[in-house]
Structure 1
Amino acid sequence: MTDATPPAAVSPEDGGTAFAITLMEHLVVPTFVLDAELRVLIWNRACEHLTGVPASEVIGTREHWRAFYESPRPCLADLVAEGAKGRIEQLYVRPEAPREPGRGLRAETWCHMPRRGQSLYLAVDAGPIFDAGGRLIAVVETLRDMSDRKRAEDQLQQLASRDLLTGLGNRHAFDAALELEWRSGERDETSLALLLIDIDHFKRFNDRYGHAAGDECLKRVAATINRFARRAGDLAVRYGSEAFVLLLPDFTRTQAQAVAQRVCDAVRSLRFVDDDEIIGVTVSIGLAVCVPMPGIEATLMLQAADAALDEAKQAGRDRVRIGEV
């Protein structure tokens, strides 16, 4: 396996083989064993319980993948048996390379268990077993259900990158996305647009109509801005109290300016009601667009958008201004 103990040299003719098989079948850890030709030798009871697949269906076959996936895909034990350890990063997350030649592999992955009809996040270990002559005779794979922990981790990660009031990404999410998209634009020589959006006179709105109305205003403006983050790489975030950012990869200056104007128009059309009073709000937008290049920091783009936002406010608000990077 992956600990410091050298792999045991065993032989199929060893007198303890039957005992070892019986012991493995009754282990509480889900375990299966493949021979060197990838046929299932052992599929223990815990593995039956985890996958919903009885041993009688897979023993002697190469169909063990069906317990974990809907279409053919190698399990970790297959990679060990085939010496295809280089594929581990393509198929698994958090892979651990073997510390020494002949050691096993460790990784994690989501598996859709077809028989159970649910997805489980499994921590997987697969280790080779050699005979006295160093010939591979079997690979043992053990499985641990880490689904609850993984979902908890994902939930914490989502909370860490989400603004609780609006549901948009937060400053942390923006910083990470800006750096990622900046490197991508630099590599592919594609443009990147950044809209820095500020609700006009929000403090005055909040003081006059109360914090509940202010929160409702923030949520509706956020939802309006988020409508313009339509593609997979687009990102809308709450950048500060009443400030938002819309990050649009591979947008030209003309395209980004058109989106910025539509954001202004969409927010201006919002209506809020307070004691039968109809209230409207507007936003000012600072826009920056550039093709990332070596030697230019991503923060310069944000500074350009911030300067343009100040110009928009000074020019009377409810408008778009473009900054130069």
Structure 2
Amino acid sequence: MSSVRREHAAPQLPIWAAVFLTLICVAIFAMSSWREWSTRNAELKNTEIDMANLAQSLAQHAADTFELADTVLNGVVHRLEVDGNGREAITRLQTFIDMRRPKLGRIRGLFVYDETGRWLATTEPVSLNGLNNSDREYFRRHAESDDRGLLIGRPVKSRSGGQWIITASKRFNHPDGSFAGVVLATVDVAYFVKFFDRFDLGKKGAVSLLSADGIMLARSPDDGTYVGRDLSNTPLFKDRAARPASGAYYFTSPLDGVQRLSFYRTSEHFPLLILATKAQDEVLAPWRKDAAVRMTFVLALLLIIAVIGVFFVRQLQVRQRMAAELVAKEADFRLLAEESSDMVTRIGMDERIQYVSPSSSRVVGWPPEQLMGTPALAGVNAEDLPRVKALVAALKRGEEEDARIVYRSRHREKAEVWIESTMRVTREYETGAINGVVAISRDMTEHKDLEQKLSSLATLDGLTGIANRRHFDEQLEREWARARRDGTPLSLLMIDVDHFKKYNDRYGHQAGDVCLKSVAQALAAAARRPADVAARYGGEEFILLLPDTDRAGCELMGSKIRDSLAVLGIDHQANLPSQKVTVSIGGAIAFVQDAKASSSWLVEAADRALYVAKDEGRDRLGSGLTTATR
């Protein structure tokens, strides 16, 4: 080594040592900070999970409550529509309601109003004379709408008890279908508040039950001012269309100004939303205390490292000549790793191999002596070669210092292998000019094969081996767009195994799985065209997408499926009269013309046709096969 080189390296070593120690201190501090931040995020994430579980339980509780109300109301509505609302019928109904009162459980009271709002019957011990509820919002909505579903109203003050209540009501009709009155069930807001109080969410935590349009139905804790508040202008409800049915939600409460960590969940059956929250300060209080202790220890450690570092740098200044000489000698040899399991290659500026490690025998099948001096890119797959050449050229020009690339390469014994190479330029010590590239390569074939298998499994149903619901939805959207673009018909068959629950009950779930696999194989055999998609839609339901297929083709495919199952002749003693496994099929055909039309219409139409097939006796393609222009 020249004296110039030694003089250049020696003074720099203490400086680099000081920089290195500084970087160590910075790295320790950064890692500690990152760890604390990660711990903070983990604390928040764990709380999110707790809130999610709580919201799920509370949403189910609320749904059960209104499901009970719906059941009770259905019974009363049925009696009213069968017996009428004459004096004798109402007397019998009052007796029936009085008998049911002890069994209502969560339901506070039942009320029956005629078409004028006059009280006809109730579980409350009040005089009905002169009482009229025609001014209530729920009454007006039922009078104006033919909807027979359950209506969950805004909280109101009870006229019989004076407390806040949540109303659940249904309309009943005269025999001619005209409005006959309203049946109402009430649930005390206090019932939900008392139930929510069971859960410890800290001093500032809260649980809220809201309607889907943002009205506060119940809240715990409640200071008497929260019930009935309109929160529809808050971000949670303003952005409802863009949000999933459930999720974490961080916000500053408009009710008390507390920064909250929460989880909301929308009921699957009713227009309700549960919001379980904790104050973010309370969640993070233990973390802040522990983080302060840990960071104090880290700062003390950094101070010790700094003191030792100063002493170390001073020692380096004394020994810098000897250390610089050692670093200069080792710098020429550290790039090559003879014992590495990966293949280490040095490539010259002429793109020929100057050195290759013994691992080449394992990675590409050729020993090092046969590769020395050969073109480094000779074995690269022709399709990948332009990418690899471009990367190597960029490294040689100094546009990149290091890079990583995955490509296919020829193997001596195998057809081809996938190679991942990490490349880095090397430079002349004195001038800094690039003099080659060092590549560290490993065999990635198994990894690539696993990626391909996982990609395939993501589109298949695990039991039947045919397409899953997710893949079907993607193909439906793609074929819907193509049918609209090309003006071709798009057909869909919805298939349901007849009396499959009875089959499982009689033959067992393992036999049920075998049955589903057989049905799936019959569908897969029928879907012969590349664009046809046979998929498991859920449970014992299957679906068959038939692009460019008209009504006749749809009916023919349905007949083929039924014939295939008849040939299989799977015993099903509970499926009369054939006592064999059969399917009911609903079909729909769409001629897509409207650019705004949704593909969901086709699924809904096929589902309706399936119910027609079931109503007509099963084991058939329903006569309600739907054809429409959308």
Q: Report what 2:601 is aligned to.
A: 300
Q: Report what 1:177 is aligned to.
A: 475
What amino acid is aligned across from residue 19 of structure 1 in structure 2? F
Pairwise CA distance, 1:115: 1.7
Q: Distance in 2 between matches of 1:134 and 1:252?
A: 72
Q: Distance in 1 between matches of 2:433 and 2:422?
A: 20
8 Å Cα contact 2:493-2:558 kept in structure 1: yes
Pairwise CA distance, 1:207: 3.5
The equivalences for 1:260-271 within 5 A come to: 260-271=558-569
Aligned length: 292
Secondary structure at 2:568 match in 1? coil
Q: Distance in 2 between matches of 1:189 and 1:62?
A: 54
Which stretch has the larger CA shift, 256-265 or 122-131?
122-131
Provide, for residues 180-210 of structure 1, a one-character-per-residue CA deviation record: whole Å limited to 9, x for no partner.
Answer: 4445656676654432211223234334444
8 Å Cα contact 1:40-1:58 kept in structure 2: yes
Secondary structure at 1:227 match in 2? helix
RMSD, aligned CA: 4.1
Q: Report what 2:392 is aligned to.
A: 81
Gap change, CA 1:35 and 1:233, over 3 Å in 2: farther
Match of 1:124 among 396, 421, 424: 421
What amino acid is aligned across from residue 57 of structure 1 in structure 2? Q
Q: 2:445 aligned with 1:144, yes or no?
A: no
Gap change, CA 1:49 and 1:186, over 3 Å in 2: farther
Q: Distance in 1 between matches of 2:485 and 2:350?
A: 43
Q: Report what 2:534 is aligned to.
A: 236
The equivalences for 1:28-177 within 5 A come to: 28-62=341-375, 64-66=377-379, 69=381, 73-74=384-385, 77-82=388-393, 102-109=400-407, 111=408, 113-117=410-414, 120-128=417-425, 137-177=435-475
Pairwise CA distance, 1:162: 3.2
Pairwise CA distance, 1:129: 5.1
Q: Distance in 1 between matches of 2:585 and 2:409?
A: 47
The equivalences for 1:256-295 within 5 A come to: 256-273=554-571, 279-291=580-592, 294-295=595-596
Unaligned runs of 5+ in 2: 1-327
Secondary structure at 1:32 match in 2? strand
Q: Report what 2:333 is aligned to.
A: 19
Question: Under a length normalisation based on structure 1, what TM-score does the superposition of the two structures give?
Answer: 0.69
Q: Per residue, is there more helix in 1 or in 2?
A: 2
Match of 1:319 among 585, 601, 621: 621
Pairwise CA distance, 1:243: 0.6
8 Å Cα contact 1:192-1:292 kept in structure 2: no
Q: Distance in 2 between matches of 1:173 and 1:143?
A: 36
- State the structure with more CA Rg: 2
8 Å Cα contact 1:104-1:127 kept in structure 2: yes
Q: Distance in 2 between matches of 1:242 and 1:248?
A: 20
8 Å Cα contact 1:307-1:323 kept in structure 2: no
What amino acid is aligned across from residue 303 of structure 1 in structure 2? E
Bigger relative contact order (CA 8 A; separation at least 6): 1
What amino acid is aligned across from residue 355 of structure 2 in structure 1? I
Q: Distance in 1 between matches of 2:375 and 2:550?
A: 52
Gap change, CA 1:246 and 1:305, over 3 Å in 2: same
Q: Report what 2:499 is aligned to.
A: 201
What amino acid is aligned across from residue 237 of structure 1 in structure 2? A
Which stretch has the larger CA shift, 308-317 or 150-159?
150-159
Gap change, CA 1:196 and 1:128, over 3 Å in 2: farther
Unaligned runs of 5+ in 1: 1-13, 85-99
Which stretch has the larger CA shift, 166-175 or 207-216?
207-216
Q: 2:522 aligned with 1:224, yes or no?
A: yes
Task: Give percent identity, aligned residues only.
Answer: 30
Which stretch has the larger CA shift, 208-217 or 129-138?
129-138
Q: Report what 2:24 is aligned to.
A: none
